[in-house]
A and B are shown apart, each in its own frame.
Chain A
Amino acid sequence: MDQMGFRLLEVDLTSQKTRVLDVTEEMRTFVGGRSLGAKILWDRVPPKTDPLSGDNVVYVGLGPITGLLGSVTNISAKSPLTMLRGQSNLNGHFGMELIYAGYNAGILITGKSEKPVYLYIKDDQVEIRDASHLWGKSGLESQQILRKNLKKEIDDQNFRFMVISPAAENLVRNADVCHDFYHHAARLGMGTVLGSKKLKAIAVKGSKSPNYRHPDKVFELIRRVFHEARLYKAQHRRWGHSVSMSRRYHSTTEGVKNKQLGWDPMCDLFNPVLLEQQYKLWSDSCHGCLVGCKVPYFRREPPLGPHVGELRHDNAGGWSANAMIAGYELQTYLCSYVDHLGLDSEDVSGVVTWMMECYEKGLVTKEDLDGINLTWGNLEAICALLKKIAYREGIGNILADGLKIAPGKIGKGTERYAMTHKGVAISSYEPRGSLSDALELAGTPVGELHGGRGTPERIMYDSLTTCSFLRRTLSKIFGSAGGWGVPMLNAACGWDLTLEDWDKLTLRAATMERCYSMREGYVPERDDVLPKRFFKETIYSKYGEPRILKREEFLEERRRVYKSYGLQPNGTPSPDFLQELGLEFTIPMLEKSLEREKES
Chain B
Amino acid sequence: MNDEQKRQSSGLTKASSSQGKEGWGMENLPFPEGVAYITTRWDLCIGCGACEVACSMAHYGVINRELSRIRIYRYLLPLPKSVQNVCSQCPERERECQKACPIDPPVIHYDEEVGHMVVDEDRCTGSACGQCREACPADVPRFYPPNHDFAMVCDLCEKEGERRPQCVEICPTQALEFMTPTFPQHLERIHPDEKAKCLGKRLYPLPKDRVIRLPEEIWGGE
A333 and B44 CA atoms in complex are apart in Å by 25
Q: A215 in the interface, Cβ–Cβ < 8 Å?
A: yes
Is B64 a contact partner of A288 (Cβ separation < 8 A)? no
Q: Which residues of A contact B67 (CB under 8 A)?
A: 209
Given A215-B63, A230-B18, A230-B23, the answer on whether A181 and B213 have CB atoms closer than 8 Å is no
Q: B129 in the interface, Cβ–Cβ < 8 Å?
A: no
The number of inter-chain residue pairs (CB within 8 angstroms) is: 187
Q: Which chain A residue lies CB-closest to B172?
A: A290
Given A140-B78, A289-B48, A380-B219, the answer on whether A281 and B202 have CB atoms closer than 8 Å is yes
Main secondary structure of the interface of A (DSSP, over half): mixed
Tally of B interface residues using CB under 8 Å: 63
Q: Which stretch, B8-16, B86-94, B98-106, touches the partner chain A?
A: B8-16
A308 and B202 CA atoms in complex are apart in Å by 11
Q: Which residues of B contact A218 (CB under 8 A)?
A: 63
A283 and B80 CA atoms in complex are apart in Å by 10
Given A222-B50, A476-B12, the answer on whether A383 and B215 have CB atoms closer than 8 Å is yes
Is B206 a contact partner of A227 (Cβ separation < 8 A)? no
Is B19 a contact partner of A209 (Cβ separation < 8 A)? no
Given A230-B24, A475-B3, the answer on whether A290 and B209 have CB atoms closer than 8 Å is no
Is B211 a contact partner of A309 (Cβ separation < 8 A)? yes
Q: B161 in the interface, Cβ–Cβ < 8 Å?
A: no
Is B73 a contact partner of A158 (Cβ separation < 8 A)? yes
Is B80 a contact partner of A92 (Cβ separation < 8 A)? yes
Partner of A144, one of B3, B172, B208: B208
Is B16 a contact partner of A231 (Cβ separation < 8 A)? yes
B11 to chain A, nearest CB (A): 10
Q: Which residues of A contact B17 (CB under 8 A)?
A: 228, 231
Query: Which A162-218 residues have a C-beta within 8 angstroms of B?
Result: 180-182, 207-210, 212, 215-216, 218
Is B211 a contact partner of A285 (Cβ separation < 8 A)? no
Q: B49 in the interface, Cβ–Cβ < 8 Å?
A: yes
A88 and B54 CA atoms in complex are apart in Å by 31
Q: B65 in the interface, Cβ–Cβ < 8 Å?
A: yes
Q: B164 in the interface, Cβ–Cβ < 8 Å?
A: no
Partner of A308, one of B10, B13, B206, B214: B206
Query: Which A276-330 residues have a C-beta within 8 angstroms of B?
Result: 281-292, 294, 296, 298, 300, 302-309
Q: Which chain B residue lies CB-closest to A332?
A: B212
Partner of B213, one of A222, A282, A304: A304
A35 and B24 CA atoms in complex are apart in Å by 38
Given A226-B170, A230-B172, the answer on whether A304 and B218 have CB atoms closer than 8 Å is yes
Q: B141 in the interface, Cβ–Cβ < 8 Å?
A: no
Q: Which residues of B contact A288 (CB under 8 A)?
A: 48-50, 53
Interface residues on A, range: 35 or more
Pick from B3, B202, B221 the residue with the most CB of A within 10 Å: B3
Is B79 a contact partner of A210 (Cβ separation < 8 A)? no
B115 to chain A, nearest CB (A): 25
Q: A542 in the interface, Cβ–Cβ < 8 Å?
A: no
A145 and B208 CA atoms in complex are apart in Å by 11
Is A209 a contact partner of B62 (Cβ separation < 8 A)? yes
A186 to chain B, nearest CB (A): 16
Is B170 a contact partner of A223 (Cβ separation < 8 A)? yes
- B-contact 0/1 string along A330-341, CB 8 Å cutoff: 000100110110
Query: Which B146-202 residues have a C-beta within 8 angstroms of A?
Result: 146, 170, 172-173, 192-193, 202
A481 and B3 CA atoms in complex are apart in Å by 10
Q: B84 in the interface, Cβ–Cβ < 8 Å?
A: no
A237 and B15 CA atoms in complex are apart in Å by 17
Q: Which residues of A contact B212 (CB under 8 A)?
A: 307-309, 333, 336-337, 340
Q: B57 in the interface, Cβ–Cβ < 8 Å?
A: yes
Q: A250 in the interface, Cβ–Cβ < 8 Å?
A: no
Given A231-B15, A282-B43, the answer on whether A215 and B62 have CB atoms closer than 8 Å is yes
Partner of A384, one of B1, B48, B78, B215: B215
Query: Which A381-397 residues have a C-beta within 8 angstroms of B?
Result: 383-384, 387
Query: Which B1-46 residues have a C-beta within 8 angstroms of A?
Result: 1, 3, 6-7, 10, 12-13, 15-19, 21, 23-24, 43-44, 46
User: Footprint of B on A, CB under 8 Å?
Assistant: 68, 92-93, 96, 100, 140-141, 143-145, 147, 157-158, 180-182, 207-210, 212, 215-216, 218-219, 222-223, 226-228, 230-232, 237, 281-292, 294, 296, 298, 300, 302-309, 333, 336-337, 339-340, 380, 383-384, 387, 436, 457, 472-473, 475-476, 480-481
Q: List 29 A-B contacts (CB under 8 A).
A: A93-B74, A158-B73, A180-B76, A181-B76, A181-B79, A181-B211, A209-B64, A215-B61, A222-B53, A223-B54, A227-B18, A230-B18, A282-B46, A282-B81, A286-B48, A296-B79, A298-B206, A302-B213, A306-B213, A307-B211, A307-B212, A308-B212, A336-B212, A337-B212, A340-B212, A383-B219, A472-B7, A476-B7, A476-B13
The 9 tightest CB contacts between A and B, nearest first, are A292-B46, A290-B172, A285-B46, A383-B215, A307-B212, A306-B206, A180-B80, A209-B64, A336-B212
Given A140-B78, A284-B46, 18 additional A-B pairs, CB 8 A: A68-B63, A100-B66, A158-B74, A207-B146, A209-B146, A219-B63, A223-B170, A228-B19, A230-B18, A231-B16, A287-B49, A292-B48, A292-B173, A306-B206, A309-B211, A384-B221, A472-B7, A476-B7
